[in-house]
Amino acid sequence: MTFHIMIIPTLSCPSNCSYCWGSVKNAEVMDIEIVEAISQWLNGFRDEPVHFTFHGGEPLLAGYDFFSKALPILKSHDCDDGECFQSDKGYVDAGFSLQSNLWLLDEKLADLFSQYDIAISTSIDGPKQINDYQRGVGYFDKTMKNYKMAVEHGLKISFICTFTSYSKDFYEEIYNFFLENEYNIKLHAALPSLRDSNADEWALRGEEHGQLLINLLDKYLKDLDKFEIKDFDHLAKSYFRRRGTLCTFADCMGDTLAVGHDGNIYPCYRFVGMDEYVMGNVKDKPSMNELKSSEPWKKLMEFKDFVDEDCKDCSYIKFCRGGCPYNGIVANDGEIAVDPQCTAYKMIFKDISKKANKEFKNSATLMFKKSSNSKNEEDNGFTIMDLMMKR
Ligand code: SF4
Ligand code: SF4
């Protein structure tokens, strides 16, 4: 199992997307000493390999100088007299990823990221007109221009497509945009925030979200060999393995931690900047046990117990686990509750379950078919089992 550290160099962002709750104007930027402190804190912290994700706000605001120093420090784990090396007490790094709108990406940064094999996710919400309506005029062109440059530098880039109460009505147009361009995507639903009530009018309600997922899955089952919608790959795997493979559908607490610009440690990037969710600071090198004694840890662990009780009669509890605790807390004025997207999760898990049962009935041997050959004869599409088997 990989342990996940999200590094948030700043909460600022040069973009001004209408539904975004994650950015803060003129926020401070992480100093390289904090990266050194992260690396030192992680030495001996846990046995599992560590995957680092740079997130924001917009992480590229930290600049080339920051990344050219931060990456060797995090990769090498120990430095002495300016020389970096992997020490015995160090941790095993499981790689890097970055989430960025790419506006500030230049050739130098692209070369650096390529050298460290950084997987990048960037946000585009569909064709230019729809994207710019919700993300601001000019966003699409700025991101796509640097996307092309990044690909020329050998970087692997996938897209995050956020559906809002507005864009849900254009789901076919949006789906076709990603399909025709063969862009791999992850889906996001615009949701309310603890920090910004502006996000509410764009938020998708549970039923809308659930129906959107069902509609998109129906389309995707005809195009599995053309591009990826990663969420469905995970949902199918979760359903068959009876355990969530995305943080939203697993007991996330403890396997992901986020570090803000000042070294404060939070349960996840979504809580960064909220004083009441600070669990410690990397400069103090807190142990796992010390983090476990913090109030935010205790509060999020209560979520696990709450789900065990509140969702005990739900057929999907093993691979839903109450959804995202942040979503639940936001919806319940800071108090523990299950994710209000419960309705959406039930709808899509029910749909997957119905489809999978039909497949089992149609062919007792389907389980043993090779995924590349297992086209569904009824509608010339693929099956849930194909989705589950997808690498
Ligand atoms: S709080 Fe939500 S977004 Fe954060 S790690 Fe947990 S499930 Fe994922
Ligand atoms: S679908 Fe709803 S009731 Fe079932 S486990 Fe998830 S949050 Fe709980």
* Span 135-191, pLDDT tens digits: 999 999 999 999 999 999 999 999 999 999 999 999 999 999 999 999 999 999 998
359 vs 218, 351, 364, 370, 389, CA distance in Å?
14, 12, 8, 15, 14
Q: What is the distance in A from the centroid of ligand 1 to the CA of 313? A: 23
Q: Say if residue 1's pLDDT is above 80.
A: no
Q: Is 173 helix (H, G, I), strand (E, B) or coil?
A: helix
Give me the residues paired with residue 264 across strands: 281
Sequence-distant (≥ 6) Cβ neighbours of residue 204 within 8 angstroms: 163, 164, 165, 168, 189, 190, 191, 212, 344
The reply to whether ligand 1 has any atom less than 6 angstroms from the CB of 325 is: yes
Give me the residue label for tokens 């020329």: 152
66-80, 137-151, 244-258: least confident range? 66-80
The reply to whether ligand 2 has any atom less than 6 angstroms from the CB of 331 is: no
The ligand that comes nearest to the alpha carbon of residue 318 is: 2
Long-range Cβ contact pairs of 147-152 (< 8 A, separation 24 or more): 147/102, 147/122, 149/105, 149/107, 149/110, 150/102, 150/105, 150/110, 150/113, 150/120
Sequence-distant (≥ 6) Cβ neighbours of residue 208 within 8 angstroms: 165, 168, 344
Q: What is the distance in A from the centroid of ligand 2 to the CA of 169? A: 26
The per-residue pLDDT for 200 is: 75
23 vs 10, 18, 94, 253, 358, CA distance in Å?
9, 11, 28, 23, 45
Q: What is the distance in A from the centroid of ligand 1 to the CA of 257? A: 10
The per-residue pLDDT for 365 is: 58
Pocket probe for ligand 2: among 311, 347, 348, the residue whose CB has the most ligand atoms within 8 Å is 311
| R_g (Cα) of the chain, nearest Å | 21
pTM of the model: 0.89
Give me the residue label for tokens 């709450």: 306
The ligand that comes nearest to the alpha carbon of residue 258 is: 1
Task: Determine contact, residues 29/61, Cβ cutoff 8 Å.
Answer: yes
Please compute the mean of the pLDDT values over residues 284-298 and round it to a whole number: 96
Atom of ligand 2 nearest to the CA of 322: 7
Pocket probe for ligand 2: among 346, 350, 352, the residue whose CB has the most ligand atoms within 8 Å is 346
Structure tokens at 182: 């063969």
Q: How confident is the model at residue 24 (pLDDT cuts 50, 70, 90)?
A: confident
Which tens digits make up the pLDDT trace of 211-232? 999 999 999 999 999 999 999 9
The ligand that comes nearest to the alpha carbon of residue 251 is: 1
Residue nearest to atom 2 of ligand 2 (CA): 342
Which tens digits make up the pLDDT trace of 301-360? 999 999 999 999 999 999 999 999 999 988 888 899 999 999 999 999 999 999 999 888
The reply to whether ligand 2 has any atom less than 6 angstroms from the CB of 322 is: yes
DSSP secondary structure letter of residue 253: B
The reply to whether ligand 1 has any atom less than 6 angstroms from the CB of 209 is: no
The reply to whether ligand 1 has any atom less than 6 angstroms from the CB of 326 is: yes
Q: How confident is the model at residue 193 (pLDDT cuts 50, 70, 90)?
A: low
Q: Which residues of 70-80 are buried (b: 16+ CB within 10 A; e: fewer)?
A: bbebbebbbee
Which tens digits make up the pLDDT trace of 115-137? 999 999 999 999 999 999 999 99
The ligand that comes nearest to the alpha carbon of residue 350 is: 2
The per-residue pLDDT for 92 is: 80
The per-residue pLDDT for 116 is: 94
Q: Say if residue 286's pLDDT is above 80.
A: yes
Pocket probe for ligand 2: among 243, 316, 336, 351, the residue whose CB has the most ligand atoms within 8 Å is 316
Q: What is the distance in A from the centroid of ligand 1 to the CA of 231? A: 15
Task: Determine contact, residues 6/258, Cβ cutoff 8 Å.
Answer: yes
The reply to whether ligand 1 has any atom less than 6 angstroms from the CB of 322 is: no
Separation of CA 129 from chain center: 25
CA atoms within 13 A on the CB side of 194: 19
Structure tokens at 98: 């970055």
Mean pLDDT of the chain: 89
**How far separated are the first and last CA of the chain, in Å rounded?**
17
The reply to whether ligand 1 has any atom less than 6 angstroms from the CB of 248 is: yes
Q: Is the peptide bond before 334 cis (omega within 30 degrees of 0)?
A: no
The per-residue pLDDT for 255 is: 87
- Tell me the C-alpha distance between 183 and 185, whole Å: 6
- Tell me the C-alpha distance between 29 and 7, whole Å: 11
Sequence-distant (≥ 6) Cβ neighbours of residue 374 within 8 angstroms: 366, 382, 383, 385, 386
